[in-house]
Structure 1
Amino acid sequence: MSGIAARTGVPAARAGLEAAIRAALTDEPEVDIYPGFQWPVNYPDWTALGQATSETDPKNIGPRRQMDETITIDVNVGAWRPGRGREVAQAAYDRVFSLLVKIQNYILDGDNITLGGAVLWCVPGGFDADGEEFEGGFQAEIAARFVCSHRMRAN
């Protein structure tokens, strides 16, 4: 059954989320998609998986010896635009949010919410957005979180 395993679901959830990001951005060939943060990037737009955390709830253990695991995975989405001024900053923010929305929409499509069977479900969590002038341009970044449900059950 998808989303249920005898061990933590973090590795499978990370791999499933990376695959979902790649699928969501198929029509975006000039976006770097990394399993972790890398520098320098090849393109002015990028995504990178970040920290993953797991919380289990052992108080739900019953006769089947199973417990729920909540997995949170951070995803950095960034865009850099050359130049200065309000229009350049706005272009960077517009781009970074358009990438995040594509990823969120893809995952929330009913068939994709399990990240290929890696988890019971995955939904967008919160995010923080920030930007600053950087190397002759403006860089906007979103630190997004995706929350997944997984069940661990003894064999």
Structure 2
Amino acid sequence: MDAIPFESRAAGIRERVALQGFMHLIGAQIDDLAPGSATISVNRRNDLLQQHGLFHGGVTAFLIDNGTTIAAATVLKPGQGVLTAEYKLNLFSPADGDRLICRSRVVKPGNRMIIVAADVFTEKDGREKQTAVALATIAVLDQASMPPLRQAGQVASGR
């Protein structure tokens, strides 16, 4: 039995993700959160597009980076945190929709690393088309070894 009810875990994940300035900058949101999976998305905006009017590949990469770590966080033990160690991304179809959606799912949980797969889709006129697929390795860390959480609106100091 899980020591922490999933609803409490999900609320904590949402709170931590809300502290990420880049999520706000991109305009991404968590659409769904369940044990072992996460769905995040972003709506089409001109500043997220490349020169041909398609979602920029960097937006897809961000959704995969964040979506896979969020999915991994759903299977953590208390006192653990996650960071992306690596991911392999295949872009295979133009991302020309009104919304970009990343659905991530834990493939193999572990004590030191979690393997997560992600599928990215564009949505246009109510229909979805897959545009990318990825496989990520997410490192599991003790939260005590990670920098403290920033407060909402706090700017990180440069190095």
Which TM-score band applies after superposition, normalised by the shorter structure? 0.3 to 0.5
Question: What is the TM-score normalised by the length of structure 1?
Answer: 0.40
Question: What is the TM-score normalised by the length of structure 2?
Answer: 0.40
Bigger Rg, structure 1 or 2: 1
